[in-house]
Amino acid sequence: MSISLSEQEASDRNKLLALLIISLAQLMVVLDATIVNIALPTAQEDLGITDSQRQWVVTAYALSFGSLLLLGGRISDFWGRRKAFITGLAGFAVASAIGGAAPNPEVLFLARALQGVFGALLAPAALSQLAVIFVGPNERARAFGIYGAVSGAGSAVGLLLGGVLTEYLSWRWCLYVNIPIALFGIAMALIVLQESKATGSTQYDVPGAVLATTGLASLVYGFSRAEQDGWGAASTIGFLTLAVVLLVGFIIQEQRAAYPLLPLRILLDRNRAGAYLTMLGIGVAVFAMFFFLTFYMQQNLSYSPIRTGFAFLPFTVAIVITATSMGRLLPILGPRILMTAGPLLMAVGLFWMAQLGVASNYWTHIFGPAVIMAVGMGMLFISVTVTALSGLSANDSGVGSAMINTIQQIGGSLGVPLLSTIAATAAANYLASATPGPDTYLSAAVEGYTTAFLWASGIAVLVAIVAFVMISPRVSVAATGEGAPVMH
């Protein structure tokens, strides 16, 4: 049956509205990983948060989000992607309201963890819906290009918005701002989105979820302890050992489970495994850049919160432009070229940042490398997303989507404490041999930052090698079945 022009226009309009809603929800989830970073000093003083506690404002969100994404993806597949999307938005709004009104540190930490829980339900539901709604090669590439731009720019937008809200309103609005976004998303989703779900049994792998969550939590906490107590401390070794035991147990459970949380067939595909490894390494590099540059600009360059946020604006603009243009180039170049060139550009940007001095000029040492990194990330995100979803059945689209966010969050959760430990060691070594002076401590901090950037640059080079070796030069963005791309 032919489709009339008016019907086609209505379909295109609904798809555009769906893309808007999904991208807005993804922006909210991603920016919440960084929006509190700039507000943290103010929140710490207001609530009396100690230096040893303050990391949990960031870690509680990343940890619950990353460790529960697999379960969230499975729930969205079988419960219904539209219901999971709306429930995730509603829960995120409630958690944000609790955090914004937090009277003490414990309530704030709990609210951030709850945000992560509902974000873990929301994010895979959003991405798997894109795979179902956009099935044609060209429209799929454009949709994922916009989605990739939002995902890539979300962290920088969070820093910018956090600076504006903290300086002109209150740090609490860094949480309250999610409420109107979520309410708008719910209203539009009820009108525009249609329900879709996978077929088959709706049983869930609860033992797998427990093992994955506790294993990842132990791994992240072990890396956090390494920063504070050192790699040889009993607490560090104990939690890292526990993480290995739990994660090995998770793999064994997935092999035996009738309805596994993470079907291992998803990881056995070489291209998909390469995409996940690429995202893991890039998560380390990206989170490190935001983390250390934020401290450098506020402490060394004496930037205010809002000026720090605006300093990341060129990064945001560059990644949006690159990611959207890559949507048109992806069908021509293929993911392998973009997934190799992107990390190499990021490595160049990080190496340039490693040349920072005590008070380097923004335009010569921050602006240029940040834009180069943004271009590399824009090239990378869309190609990773398409490759990771290529060849997946409709039943696996949710968990496959969740793995992209899971891996990125794990990379960030591990990267910050890992590179912070490296930076702290470099700074301590510098202080041990330096002659005391007015800028000694600032110089030591810069020594730590630049050492961390060098390590992150090396990680980005390894990521490029992995992508070149593992990704097939003939991965197609054409779709089959219910919207999953096909692998050639």
Q: Of 235, 260, 285, at which residue does a domain stop?
A: 260
> What's the rounded Cα separation, in Å, for the pair 217 and 220?
5
Nearest CA-CA partner of 356 in 425, 289, 405? 289
- Domain of 218 in residue numbering reads as 205-260
Whether 117 and 184 share a structural domain: yes
Whether 320 and 231 share a structural domain: no
Whether 195 and 239 share a structural domain: no
Whether 475 and 435 share a structural domain: yes
Model's pTM, two decimal places?
Answer: 0.74
Question: How confident is the model at residue 488, as a pLDDT?
Answer: 31
Domain count across the chain: 2
Whether 184 and 232 share a structural domain: no
Half-sphere exposure of 309 (CA within 13 A, CB side): 23
Whether 127 and 224 share a structural domain: no
Whether 464 and 371 share a structural domain: yes
> What's the rounded Cα separation, in Å, for the pair 311 and 156?
10
Question: How confident is the model at residue 281, as a pLDDT?
Answer: 87
> What's the rounded Cα separation, in Å, for the pair 327 and 108?
39
Whether 341 and 218 share a structural domain: no
What CATH number has the domain bearing residue 317?
1.20.1250.20
* pLDDT digits (tens), the chain, 488 positions: 454 546 666 666 777 788 888 888 878 877 777 787 777 778 888 888 876 566 678 778 877 887 787 778 778 877 888 889 899 999 999 999 999 999 999 999 999 989 989 988 888 788 777 767 776 666 766 777 777 677 666 766 787 788 888 888 888 998 998 999 899 989 988 888 777 776 666 677 788 888 887 887 788 778 777 767 777 889 889 999 999 999 999 999 988 887 787 788 888 788 888 888 888 888 888 877 777 887 788 778 888 888 888 888 888 788 878 877 877 777 777 788 888 999 999 999 999 999 998 889 999 899 999 899 989 988 887 788 788 877 777 666 666 766 777 787 778 777 777 787 788 888 888 888 877 777 788 888 899 999 999 999 999 999 999 999 988 776 555 443 333 333 33
Whether 190 and 336 share a structural domain: yes
Whether 194 and 211 share a structural domain: no
Question: How confident is the model at residue 465, as a pLDDT?
Answer: 93
Whether 212 and 317 share a structural domain: no
Amino acid at position 16, single letter: L
Whether 139 and 230 share a structural domain: no
Who's near 203: CB < 8 A, 6+ residues apart?
258, 259
Question: How confident is the model at residue 8, as a pLDDT?
Answer: 65
